[in-house]
Amino acid sequence: MSILKEICGISRRSFLQTVAGTGVLASMELFSSRSVFAAENKKPNVVFILADDVGYGDFSCYGAVKIKTPHIDKLAAEGRRFTDAHSPSAVCTPTRYALMTGEYAWRKQGTGILPGIAAIIIEPGRMTLPAMFKQAGYTTAVVGKWHLGLGAQTPTDYNGEIKPGPLEVGFDQCFIIPATGDRTPCVYVENHRVAGLDPKDPIKLDYTVKRGEPRSFVNDIPRIGEQTGGRSALWKDDDIADTLTGKAIKFIEQNKDKPFFLYFATHDIHVPRVPHPRFKGSSQAGVRGDVVQEFDWSVGKVIETIDKLGLAENTIIIVTSDNGGVLDQNGPDAVHGGTEETNNGHAFNGPLRAGKGSAYEGGTRIPFIARWPGKIKPGVSSELICHVDMLATVAELTGQKLSTDVGPDSFNILPALLGEKLNKPCRDHLIEHGHVLAIREGTWKYLPARQGRKKAGKKDNAGPASTGKAVGELYNLAEDIGEQNNVADKNPDIVKRLSGMLEKYKTAGRSRYM
Ligand code: CA
């Protein structure tokens, strides 16, 4: 018994409960790390908070000085803060697809940034992150930005029963922004219906209308796509954070006595950035900084709820972002023609090169903090991890087997989350999805030469075009985190190995079980 206790780090009482409850066979499994948590009767709740467009340098615990994020900083101090965590893509939809499925989105056609009229891009019946939780007996909910399509066909009909949607791919309940804050429809969908819709004023959408055209305005803010009708259901832009946070809290309160999974995907800090008046001017980094502080408030309310209900010891809280930071090129006063947003020199992606949309580190390296008192060892980790790993990690956490045909790019990162001493990295490589597919191996990073002669994107996002003989770019992030010094020519063997790995994982259709 004492040896078992040492190996598994579980209490004598929970061990005896396991033996009594599930028999000797199950107790033998205690030798595998998987069953350490599954063996304990209490399944940990999981709250996954996904911010939108928050960059690597946006929280004070990641170096911001013009923005204050006390709640997130406290979470980091009590939990584990990752310095090399990545979103699976440098933009919204593909990141969310990969988070849900454990598959890199670039493997599947049609997973780019979706309009608000797109059909769902996750096949109902497929194994997903929420479905994995449900199989383990959890109650699941998504609150906030969905952006994975709704309905069986494009264009989505918002006036009837809207399905398939989140409820058909593993969630028990949903309260969502269908696409983004800057895309129509500007209404919430609750389970299968638009919340507050008057059937006598049906919603009509026209996606031939571009942002900034007179017809694109909803609530006096330009959107992508026109919306007519649905007036009683329109959201109020400066209330979005309050509304979503309230729904998240309500779900936690209602499910406090049973295991739950909450995917809380905030609108903050995506454009249009319209903070509630109490956050307006609260930061020293312009309206962008204000909405980061509003996001911090939302995180604080969720933590407060969990702590107040006595759930802290049994709840894993993760705070992260769906891609790197960006300044709004339409500006806060797009009405008057648009100017680039200013933020008083705040380095929203820290020392990283480029940002949202790019395969340079600024595109996908994002803040990632995980707290689970008594289980996750507080500290800072430089382990390479990615949101696409959540599926395999949750399988491990809940004592389930991830079959080889699902989650083809999902690795179990539970040991890294917990802060266990690792003999080898949880993942020995990662493919970063931006203007090209780049590959990481340890601190090496290789970006293949970009095909064509397209002009380099704004803010250095797209890198140099191929000159015909270029071997691509190779960076040693251990000494060059800003990707300024291309050492490809000096290291042909490393370039060859990394480009070979990249091709192998692309063509194999998977990167796990190779
Ligand atoms: Ca985003």
Q: Cα of 349 to ligand 1 centre, how many Å? A: 14
Residue 181 predicted with pLDDT over 80: yes
Q: Cα of 161 to ligand 1 centre, how many Å? A: 27
Count CA atoms within 13 Å of residue 16 on its CB side: 4
Enumerate residues 6+ apart whose C-beta is below 8 A from 448.
436, 437, 438, 472, 499, 502
Alpha-carbon separation of residue 283 from 61, 74, 271, 296, 346 (angstroms): 15, 18, 17, 12, 11
Q: Cα of 53 to ligand 1 centre, how many Å? A: 4
Q: Cα of 470 to ligand 1 centre, how many Å? A: 31
Q: Cα of 25 to ligand 1 centre, how many Å? A: 46
Supply the angle between the helices 286-308 and 70-78 in degrees, to the nearest 10.
Answer: 50
Q: Cα of 308 to ligand 1 centre, how many Å? A: 31
Q: What is the pLDDT of residue 42?
A: 76
For 191-201, b/e burial (b = at least 16 CB within 10 A) is bbbbeebeeee
Q: Cα of 174 to ligand 1 centre, how many Å? A: 20
How far is C-alpha 100 from the chain's CA centre?
Answer: 10
Q: Cα of 400 to ligand 1 centre, how many Å? A: 30
Q: Which CATH number fits domain 45-194+236-418: 3.20.20.30, 2.60.40.3140, 3.40.720.10, 3.40.50.620?
A: 3.40.720.10
Q: Cα of 513 to ligand 1 centre, how many Å? A: 30
Q: Cα of 270 to ligand 1 centre, how many Å? A: 7
Local confidence band at 464 (pLDDT 50, 70, 90 cut-offs): low
Residue 476 predicted with pLDDT over 80: yes
Q: Cα of 225 to ligand 1 centre, how many Å? A: 18
What residue ranges of the chain are covered by domains with CATH 3.40.720.10? 45-194+236-418
**Average pLDDT, whole number, for the chain?**
90
Q: Cα of 94 to ligand 1 centre, how many Å? A: 10
Q: Cα of 462 to ligand 1 centre, how many Å? A: 17
Q: Cα of 92 to ligand 1 centre, how many Å? A: 4
d(CA 490, CA 470): 13
Q: Cα of 496 to ligand 1 centre, how many Å? A: 33
Alpha-carbon separation of residue 492 from 413, 432, 471, 486 (angstroms): 31, 21, 9, 12
Q: Cα of 273 to ligand 1 centre, how many Å? A: 13
Query: Averaged over 40-65, what is the pLDDT?
Result: 94
Residue 269 predicted with pLDDT over 80: yes
Q: Cα of 49 to ligand 1 centre, how many Å? A: 13
Residue 364 predicted with pLDDT over 60: yes
Q: Cα of 51 to ligand 1 centre, how many Å? A: 8
CB atoms within 10 A of CB 25: 7
Long-range contacts of 232-237 (CB under 8 A, 24+ apart): 232/196, 232/197, 232/198, 232/201, 233/187, 233/188, 233/194, 233/195, 233/196, 233/197, 233/198, 233/203, 234/186, 234/187, 235/177, 235/186, 235/187, 235/188, 237/181, 237/272, 237/274
Q: What is the pLDDT of residue 25?
A: 33
Q: pTM for this one?
A: 0.91
Give the dihedral sign, CA 497/499/505/508.
Answer: negative
Q: What is the pLDDT of residue 514?
A: 72
Q: Cα of 52 to ligand 1 centre, how many Å? A: 4
Residue 509 predicted with pLDDT over 50: yes
Comparing 236 with 332, the larger pLDDT belongs to: 236
Q: Cα of 322 to ligand 1 centre, how many Å? A: 5
Q: Cα of 165 to ligand 1 centre, how many Å? A: 20
Q: Cα of 96 to ligand 1 centre, how many Å? A: 9
Q: What is the pLDDT of residue 108?
A: 97
CATH number for the domain running over 436-508: 3.30.1120.10
Q: Cα of 367 to ligand 1 centre, how many Å? A: 13
Query: Averaged over 67-95, what is the pLDDT?
Result: 98
Enumerate residues 6+ apart whose C-beta is below 8 A from 302.
47, 49, 245, 248, 249, 252, 264, 317
Local confidence band at 19 (pLDDT 50, 70, 90 cut-offs): very low
CB 353 within 8 A of CB 482: yes
What residue ranges of the chain are covered by domains with CATH 3.30.1120.10? 436-508
Q: Cα of 356 to ligand 1 centre, how many Å? A: 8
Comparing 448 with 458, the larger pLDDT belongs to: 448
